Structure 1
Amino acid sequence: MGAFVGCVANEAKSLAKRFGLDEAAAFTGVLLHDIGGLVPEQQRVALAEELGIDVLPEERLVPMLLHGKFSAYFAKDIFGVTTPEILSAITYHTTLHANPTDLEKIVCLADKVKWDGEGVPPYLSELILAFDQSLDAAAKFFTAYLYDSNLLVIHPWLSEAHDDYFAKQ
C-alpha cells in the first residue's frame, strides 16, 4: 500500500470512528477509491463505453471525472466488493451527490483531508473546524468550496450536492 493511500485510509478509519460509522467499510472504500485512476486519461471514455459505464457530457470533457466510476467497477469486478454502500462511496468520492450517505461523506472527505497535492490543502483549517460542528457541516463546507472553485466543469453530481445542501437553509 502506498504511503498516500495509507494516510487516506487511516484518516477514513479515524473519521468513521469519530462519527460512529463502520471503520472497515470506510477503510475499504478509501483503499479502492482511486484505483480507477490507473486507466490512462486518453482511454477513459472509450473504456467506459466498452464496459457499459454511463459517460456524462462533463466526463467526456474532463475524463478524470470518470475515475470514481472505474474505481467502483474494479472494486466489484476485480476485488469482489459487493456492499452497495462501499461501492457508492467509491463512485461519489470526488464530488458527492444529493443526499450523500455518511459513508460517502467519510470516503470523500478523508480523501480531501489527506490529499495528494503539494503542501497543505488551502481549505483544510476550515474543513477541520466544520468537522467540529458535524460530519454534515464538513460535507456542506467542502461541497461549497469545490463548487465555488475554479473547476474546468461542474459535474452534475456536485451541482446536485450543492443544491441539496443550500436549498436546506
Structure 2
Amino acid sequence: MLIVISLMFLSLLVLGCSTGSEESNLEEVSGDVIERIVQGDYEIVYQQIFTEDLKDSLPFNDFKQMWQVRVDSSGEYIGMGSLEVSQRGETYYVAKTELEYTNLIFPVRMIFNGDNQLVSIHLGEALVNYNIPETVIEEEVVVGKGTAYELGGTLTLPKQFEEPLPAVVLVHGSVTS
C-alpha cells in the first residue's frame, strides 16, 4: 500500500511540474528525489524519474549499490543542505545539494530535462564531517599569491601558543606522482 501511495504521489509531483519546468518546481522534484533515495525508495525513483537513456547507462542494481555503499560508510542521516537549481541551455536544469551524515558530507549533482526527468546523477567526493576543537583556529591561505601558480590551503593553529611551533605542509595534486 505504501508503494502504491508513493508511486501516485511521485507521479502527481512529476506530472504537475512538467508543464512549467520552472526552477521552483524542480526544487520540489529534486528534494523529493533525494528524500526518497535517503529513505531507500530506489525503485520508485528509478522507475518514475530516470530517463530511458539513464536507465540504459546506469542499471538499477548499480544505482542502488552506488548509494548503499556511500550510505553504509556515512553514518546516520542528518539532512540535506540548501538546494541550488540553475538552467543549462534551453532544456536542462542542474540541481546541486549536499547530504550530511554523522561521518561524511557529500555533494549530489542531478541534471533534469525539460520534462523533469533525471538524465544524470553524480555523487561527489565525500568530506569528513567533523567539528574543529575549540582550541584551534583555521584560516584560508594562498601560497604564491600573485604568481601564475597560486596554491590555496588551510592553516590550522592552536589558539594560544607562546613558542615557535613545528609545521607540516601537505600538498595534494591532481596527477600521479
- Is TM > 0.5 for Structure 1 vs Structure 2? no
TM-score normalised according to structure 2 size: 0.32
TM-score normalised according to structure 1 size: 0.33
More strand by share: 2
More helix by share: 1
Q: Which has the higher contact order (CA 8 A, sep 6+)?
A: 1
